[in-house]
Amino acid sequence: MGAADFLANTGVNDISTELRGLEEGSQVWRDTEHPNRLWGFWAGSSPGDVIRVFAAQSAAVIM
């Protein structure tokens, strides 16, 4: 996720970038019958699971 942080353009500052993502046993998938629906199965423990979902294109960020 770190390589794509600039795409989010939300101004959110994560406390830790090391533990982001899905833990073993967790899953996220898009519904094939309803492509705007996202499903998740969270099997994580502490610190939990972190995903990024793009719902719309954000304005360009120039760095």
Greatest alpha-carbon pair distance for the chain in Å reads: 39
Q: Report pLDDT for 12.
A: 67
Domain assignment of residue 46, given as a range: 1-63
Q: Report pLDDT for 48.
A: 77
Which helix (DSSP H) or strand (DSSP E) does residue 5 occupy? helix 5-8
Q: What is the Rg, in whole angstroms, of the alpha carbon atoms belonging to the chain?
A: 14
pTM over 0.85: no
Q: Report pLDDT for 45.
A: 79
C-alpha 18: how far from chain center: 14
- Cross-strand partners of 38: 30
Q: Report the chain (63 residues): mean pLDDT per 10 consecutive residues.
A: 70 70 88 91 80 71 56
- The number of distinct structural domains making up the chain is 1
